[in-house]
Structures are given as C-alpha cells and as structure tokens.
Amino acid sequence: MNSVKWISPCLCVCVVIPAILALAGCDVERRRSDAELGLNPQQAAGRQLYDNYCDRCHEPYSSRGKKGPSLKGVFKKQYLSVSGLPANDERMTEIIKYGRSKMEGFGQVMTDQQIQDLLAYLHTL
Ligand code: HEC
C-alpha cells in the first residue's frame, strides 16, 4: 500500500487547498476597495452607481442570483443568460434605460454619462 503515502499530501494540495481558496473567495469575502479592483475613475464612478441602483437585485462578484440574475462576468459571455440578448453596450444600455419585465428602467434616474460610467464598471465584472 505504497500509494496511500502520497495520496494524502496530494489530496491536500490538489483538493483541500483549492477548496479553501474557493470558499474564501466566495460569499465570505470582504468588500474590495476600488484600488484593489484596479478601477479607473470612470469605473469607480460606475461602481457607485451600481451600488446605488443595481446591487440590491444583482450580484457583481458572485454567481448567486438575487432578485435578478448575477452580473458577474456579464460582458465576458456573448449572450445574456436570461434574455439571450447579445451582451453588448447597445443592449445593455436599453435594459438599463427601459428595464425588462420585473426590472424597472433607470432612464429617468441616470444621465447618459452615468450610464456610460456604469457600463465601464460592468465591463470589469
Ligand atoms: C428591483 C430589482 C432590480 C434592479 C434594481 C435592477 N435589476 Fe436588472 N434585472 C432584474 C430582474 C428580475 C431581471 C430579469 C428580467 C427578466 O425576467 O427578463 C433583470 C435583468 C437584467 C439584465 C438582463 C439579464 C439577462 O440575462 O438577460 C441586465 C443586464 C440587468 N438586469 C442589469 C441591471 C443593472 C445594470 C441595474 C442597475 C442599473 C439593474 N439591472 C437593476 C431586477 C433588477
């Protein structure tokens, strides 16, 4: 039973440590600062808008759903997960301005410049 000897260190390095890192990086994670996230001033302004208007329904850094779907990596995929619309600035701007079914629109609350800032932030997710 020689193999048992190296299975446990391997189990530790291959399974346990990544699991701990994954857990640590998950929900228990403290809020990272704009600097830690490497946000430029426009993206940081967008993050503030996100916190004010979007965060209560959409998770930015976890794939967990809230009232709406997670927006983690929203621009990294070609299509939006719920609507299947292309994940691009045009569609995103429309969703933000006019809303979608259970989501209200923000065209009355945010200026075009603010929507640009918000998009810049969404691209960092
Ligand atoms: C009151 C809760 C709520 C708020 C606030 C909200 N949303 Fe939503 N959002 C939703 C829901 C619910 C959906 C799913 C709508 C549907 O059924 O198509 C959604 C859908 C979306 C979608 C499309 C997702 C997909 O996969 O098709 C995007 C993008 C989005 N929201 C972005 C935002 C942004 C950006 C903000 C902030 C300006 C925001 N939402 C604010 C609830 C909300």
Output the six-digit token pair for 46: 């967008």
**What pLDDT does 118 receive?**
98
**What pLDDT does 52 receive?**
97
Q: Which ranges of the chain have pLDDT less than 70? A: 1-29
Q: Determine the Cα angle at 45 with ends 42 and 48, to 5°.
A: 155
Please, are residues 63 and 72 in contact by the beta-carbon 8 Å criterion?
A: yes
**What pLDDT does 23 receive?**
54
The answer to whether domain 33-122 has CATH 1.10.3720.10 is no
Q: How many angstroms separate the CA atoms of 52 and 70, rounded?
A: 16
Q: pTM of the prediction?
A: 0.82
**What pLDDT does 30 receive?**
86
**Domain range annotation of the chain:** 1-30, 33-122
Q: Determine the Cα angle at 80 with ends 74 and 81, to 5°.
A: 100
Question: What is the residue with the minimal CA distance to atom 25 of ligand 1?
Answer: 82
**What pLDDT does 3 receive?**
57
In short, whether 76's Cβ falls inside 6 Å of ligand 1 is: no
52 Cα: distance to centroid of ligand 1 (angstroms): 14
Q: Supply the DSSP symbol for 13.
A: I
Q: Which helix (H) or strand (E) holds 34?
A: helix 34-37
Q: How many angstroms separate the CA atoms of 53 and 114, rounded?
A: 11
Q: How many angstroms separate the CA atoms of 20 and 88, rounded?
A: 35
Question: Which of 50, 75, 95 should be mutated for ligand 1, with most atoms under 8 A from CB?
Answer: 95
Distance of CA 111 to the CA centre of its chain: 22
13 Cα: distance to centroid of ligand 1 (angstroms): 39
